[in-house]
Amino acid sequence: MTGAAALPDGGTDVLDGARLTLWAPPGLPEVRPGDDLGVLVGDLLAADARRTGDPLAEGDVVVVTSKVVSKAEGRVVRAADREQAITDETVRVVATRERPDGQPPLRIVENRLGLVMAAAGVDASNTPDGTVLLLPEDPDASARGLREVLRARFGLDRLGVVVTDTAGRPWRDGVTDIAIGAAGLRVVDDLRGGVDSHGRALSATVTAVADEIAAASELVRGKATGRAVAVVRGLARYVPGAASDDGGAAVGPGARSLVRTGPDDLFREGAAEAYARGFADGRAAPSR
């Protein structure tokens, strides 16, 4: 572990020579509707601390998958109702893709959380047979609730909580985890107005810290092992305390603030859908 004093760039370094450490405590039981997730996650972290001698600390971020949040909140739907569940979660269809062998088209939609996701984020992996899971009702509220339970139990002031989900991205193969809920965390690092190492103004640099935390946590949780909880240590600079300059804003703006949709969205509609709409409008337009 490097110490700040040993660093060539010394005290001006916000990273302070610290390492970023992530781990995913094993042993969370199967979560069922009505379970108190705060208690289960607290028990998991307490058992992990006993085993490792390394308890949860000020400035840590606890990352929890939306899957276990949804299970605890009873957001379970019978699998036969999957297409209806997607429709119910949908605010707006963004694009569709035909699928083989008689399956209904895959819908990429904006859901009621503002998230643009395939199948509205309705998920069928790691769930009991015959069921699918909806996303939590309000993942930022879920994160705030978890944060309060864990702060009280472990006697901490500065604690961040992130609720993750897995999403595809245009133009990139594979999925990554993103933050759909957050509390006690600055979800972005807004460097606009700052300067780079040449003293030049940093332009348009707002880093989506909460999404980077979600992605990093996936690397240590791993999909196949089904671990639902990770701890991230070393990002205390993004975890303000109740008594900090942020005061009452310490809970943070939540992951909802990372959503960017609306008229300003250049990709508010799939290319084929926009073309078809344009074609129809062009055909119906009065001739010159």
Q: From 68-76, 137-145, 151-159, 214-222, give the range in contact with its own copies by CB under 8 A.
A: 214-222
In angstroms, the CA 63 to CA 222 distance is 13
Q: How far is the CB of 52 from its own copies (least distance, A)?
A: 5
Q: Tell me which residues in 246-275 interact with its own copies (CB under 8 A).
A: 257-261, 265-275
> CA-based angle 152:255:226, to the nearest 5?
75
Query: Residue 108 is encoded by which pair of tokens?
Result: 């990429």
Question: Which among 44, 63, 52, 45 has a CA at the least distance from the CA of 218?
Answer: 63
Q: How far is the CB of 203 from its own copies (least distance, A)?
A: 6
Q: Tell me which residues in 126-185 interact with its own copies (CB under 8 A).
A: 126-129, 166, 169-178
State the binding string over 7-26 for its own copies (x if CB under 8 A, else -): xxx---xxx-xxxxxxxx-x
Sign of CA pseudo-dihedral 128, 39, 230, 165: positive
Q: Which residue in this structure is represented by tokens 């909140």? A: 73
Q: Tell me which residues in 52-81 interact with its own copies (CB under 8 A).
A: 52
Neighbours of 116 (CB within 10 A): 24
Sign of CA pseudo-dihedral 257, 263, 267, 270: positive
Choice between 49 and 242, CB closer to its own copies: 49
- Residue 5 is a binding residue for its own copies (CB under 8 A): no
Among 84, 152, 207, 243, binds its own copies (CB under 8 A): 207
- Residue 103 is a binding residue for its own copies (CB under 8 A): no
